[in-house]
Amino acid sequence: MPHVVCQPCFGCKYTDCVVVCPVECFYESDKIVFIHPEECIDCEACVPECPVEAIFHEDSVPDEWKDFIRLNAEMAPQGEPITEKKPPLAD
Ligand code: SF4
Ligand code: SF4
Protein backbone atom coordinates (compact mmCIF):
# COMPACT_ATOMS: atom_id res chain seq x y z
CA MET A 1 0.00 0.00 0.00
CA PRO A 2 2.10 2.90 -1.26
CA HIS A 3 1.67 6.64 -1.10
CA VAL A 4 0.07 8.35 -4.09
CA VAL A 5 0.52 11.80 -5.67
CA CYS A 6 -2.86 13.37 -6.51
CA GLN A 7 -4.40 16.23 -8.48
CA PRO A 8 -3.09 19.19 -6.42
CA CYS A 9 0.44 18.42 -7.64
CA PHE A 10 -0.45 19.34 -11.24
CA GLY A 11 1.54 22.39 -12.31
CA CYS A 12 3.36 22.71 -9.01
CA LYS A 13 6.53 20.73 -8.83
CA TYR A 14 8.04 22.60 -5.91
CA THR A 15 9.53 19.17 -5.47
CA ASP A 16 10.13 19.60 -1.74
CA CYS A 17 8.80 16.07 -1.51
CA VAL A 18 11.44 14.28 -3.57
CA VAL A 19 14.48 15.26 -1.53
CA VAL A 20 13.23 13.59 1.64
CA CYS A 21 12.36 10.23 0.09
CA PRO A 22 14.80 7.63 1.44
CA VAL A 23 14.23 5.23 -1.45
CA GLU A 24 14.15 7.79 -4.30
CA CYS A 25 10.86 6.53 -5.67
CA PHE A 26 9.58 9.79 -7.20
CA TYR A 27 9.41 10.04 -10.99
CA GLU A 28 8.91 13.12 -13.06
CA SER A 29 6.24 13.52 -15.68
CA ASP A 30 5.29 16.62 -17.65
CA LYS A 31 3.60 18.74 -14.96
CA ILE A 32 3.43 16.39 -12.04
CA VAL A 33 5.50 13.84 -10.17
CA PHE A 34 4.48 10.26 -9.43
CA ILE A 35 5.41 7.73 -6.77
CA HIS A 36 6.43 4.25 -7.88
CA PRO A 37 4.12 1.96 -5.89
CA GLU A 38 6.58 -0.93 -5.85
CA GLU A 39 9.36 1.23 -4.44
CA CYS A 40 7.57 3.38 -1.84
CA ILE A 41 8.10 2.08 1.69
CA ASP A 42 5.34 4.20 3.29
CA CYS A 43 7.71 6.13 5.51
CA GLU A 44 5.44 9.22 5.21
CA ALA A 45 8.40 11.60 5.10
CA CYS A 46 7.11 13.26 1.92
CA VAL A 47 3.59 13.97 3.16
CA PRO A 48 4.26 17.05 5.34
CA GLU A 49 6.77 18.41 2.79
CA CYS A 50 4.13 19.00 0.12
CA PRO A 51 2.79 22.57 0.38
CA VAL A 52 -0.44 21.70 -1.41
CA GLU A 53 -1.17 18.40 0.36
CA ALA A 54 -1.06 16.34 -2.81
CA ILE A 55 0.31 13.13 -1.25
CA PHE A 56 -1.90 10.54 0.43
CA HIS A 57 -1.57 6.99 1.62
CA GLU A 58 -3.34 4.76 -0.90
CA ASP A 59 -6.01 3.95 1.68
CA SER A 60 -6.71 7.63 2.32
CA VAL A 61 -6.89 8.99 -1.22
CA PRO A 62 -10.05 11.13 -1.49
CA ASP A 63 -12.76 9.60 -3.66
CA GLU A 64 -12.44 12.18 -6.43
CA TRP A 65 -8.76 11.33 -6.88
CA LYS A 66 -8.92 7.52 -6.74
CA ASP A 67 -7.83 7.36 -10.40
CA PHE A 68 -4.47 8.68 -9.30
CA ILE A 69 -3.69 5.33 -7.66
CA ARG A 70 -3.70 3.71 -11.11
CA LEU A 71 -2.08 6.75 -12.71
CA ASN A 72 0.92 6.69 -10.34
CA ALA A 73 1.37 2.96 -10.96
CA GLU A 74 1.20 3.42 -14.74
CA MET A 75 3.19 6.60 -15.10
CA ALA A 76 5.98 6.28 -12.53
CA PRO A 77 7.74 3.47 -14.43
CA GLN A 78 7.71 5.65 -17.57
CA GLY A 79 9.05 8.79 -15.90
CA GLU A 80 12.53 10.02 -15.12
CA PRO A 81 13.66 9.59 -11.51
CA ILE A 82 13.71 12.89 -9.65
CA THR A 83 15.67 13.24 -6.42
CA GLU A 84 16.63 16.91 -6.30
CA LYS A 85 14.54 20.01 -5.82
CA LYS A 86 13.74 22.03 -8.93
CA PRO A 87 12.54 25.61 -9.34
CA PRO A 88 8.72 25.79 -9.46
CA LEU A 89 7.06 25.89 -12.87
CA ALA A 90 6.63 29.42 -14.15
CA ASP A 91 2.86 29.12 -14.49
S1 SF4 B 1 5.77 18.99 -3.18
FE2 SF4 B 1 3.66 18.29 -3.60
S3 SF4 B 1 2.97 19.51 -5.32
FE4 SF4 B 1 5.20 19.70 -5.23
S5 SF4 B 1 6.00 18.07 -6.56
FE6 SF4 B 1 5.87 17.20 -4.51
S7 SF4 B 1 3.84 16.25 -4.46
FE8 SF4 B 1 3.85 17.63 -6.16
S1 SF4 C 1 6.10 7.67 1.75
FE2 SF4 C 1 8.34 7.64 2.01
S3 SF4 C 1 9.03 6.11 0.56
FE4 SF4 C 1 6.96 6.66 -0.06
S5 SF4 C 1 7.23 8.30 -1.55
FE6 SF4 C 1 6.97 9.27 0.44
S7 SF4 C 1 9.04 9.59 1.18
FE8 SF4 C 1 9.17 8.07 -0.47
Per-residue model confidence as pLDDT tens digits over 8-59: 999 987 899 999 999 999 999 989 999 999 999 999 999 999 999 999 999 9
The reply to whether ligand 1 has any atom less than 6 angstroms from the CB of 16 is: yes
CATH assignment of the domain containing 38: 3.30.70.20
**Domain count within the chain:** 1
Distance from residue 21's CA to the centre of ligand 1 (Å) = 12
**Is ligand 1 within 6 A of the CB of residue 4?**
no
With DSSP H G I counted as helix, E B as strand and the rest as coil, what are the percentages for the chain, rounded to 5?
30, 15, 55
Where do runs of H (alpha helix) occur along 1-91? Answer: 16-20, 67-75
Mean pLDDT for the stretch of residues 78-87? 92
Residue 9 lies in a domain: yes
Q: What is the pLDDT of residue 90?
A: 62
Residue 50 lies in a domain: yes
Question: Rounded CA gap, 5 and 57, in Å?
Answer: 9
In this prediction, residue 30 carries a pLDDT of: 87
Residue 91 lies in a domain: no
Give a yes or no: residue 86 inside a domain. Answer: no
Residue 87 predicted with pLDDT over 70:
yes
Return the DSSP state at 79: S
Q: Is residue 10 part of a domain?
A: yes
* Whether the Cβ atoms of residue 4 and residue 67 lie closer than 8 Å to each other: no
Nearest residue to 17 via CA among 91, 87, 85, 89: 85
